[in-house]
A and B are shown apart, each in its own frame.
Chain A
Amino acid sequence: IAGITQAPTSQILAAGRRMTLRCTQDMRHNAMYWYRQDLGLGLRLIHYSNTAGTTGKGEVPDGYSVSRANTDDFPLTLASAVPSQTSVYFCASSLSSGRPNEQFFGPGTRLTVL
């Protein structure tokens, strides 16, 4: 592993189903982030974690949950998917949440909720 990996690459999901998007980094970064990217809206922060064991809500947290049991992994869970959660999801990490907060990104997961 080099950098950030995300799984799956893409997924089609029936509404109401539970889904966990996986994110793993091997850079020993303290901070991790989940974004969703929708056309014309750029990146919107869903949840973040400044360090293992802590999480926080971003701009659009409703319908999503995260956990940070260790430094490397930061899974994002949709408890009951809805069509408005159709999006491309990016996981990112940074050495620290403090400045300069240069973030490194995973390849993204394209999620379609029908």
Chain B
Amino acid sequence: AQTVTQSQPEMSVQEAETVTLSCTYDTSESDYYLFWYKQPPSRQMILVIRQEAYKQQNATENRFSVNFQKAAKSFSLKISDSQLGDAAMYFCAMDSNYQLIWGAGTKLIIKP
């Protein structure tokens, strides 16, 4: 079965520092997409970044980057120069069989 695991229910980071959120997954497919979504207190789900499995280069979007380790089935999200507006739940997801498989989420707290 395809699974996505986020082992950190909660993380905290000092403003302006860097934080890494972990995500591991299990799949038998060779090509797939991985996503990080952000859900701030407003409840709106927002796509942060996506990675295609066959691309070896790690995706980057401004202060957000991923460390994609295909062999280890790991897909961590690094947030640099953390800002108060980054406080949110972060969800890792993988596409599988025309659907998305979701992790349970990590709550990120930003300390001013």
Which residues of chain B have C-beta atoms less than 8 A from A102's C-beta? 33, 35, 47, 50
- Counting CB contacts under 8 A, is A42 at the interface? yes
Which residues of chain A have C-beta atoms less than 8 A from B98's C-beta? 31, 48, 50, 97-98, 101
Bin chain A's interface residue count: 20 to 34
Residues of A with Cβ closer than 8 Å to B?
31, 33, 40-45, 48, 50, 58, 88, 90, 92, 97-105, 107-108
A-B CB contacts (within 8 Å), total count: 54
Total interface residues on B, CB under 8 Å, equals 22
**Nearest B residue (CB) for A110:** B43
Q: Is the CB of B91 within 8 A of A43?
A: yes
- Counting CB contacts under 8 A, is B45 at the interface? yes
Looking at the assembled complex, report how far the CB atom of B103 sits from the nearest CB atom of chain A, in whole angstroms.
6
Residues of B with Cβ closer than 8 Å to A?
9, 31-33, 35, 42-47, 50, 52, 91, 95, 98-100, 102-105
**Nearest B residue (CB) for A109:** B43
Which residues of chain B have C-beta atoms less than 8 A from A99's C-beta? 31-33, 95
Q: What separation, in Å, do the CA atoms of A40 and B6 have in the docked complex?
A: 11
Which residues of chain A have C-beta atoms less than 8 A from B42's C-beta? 107
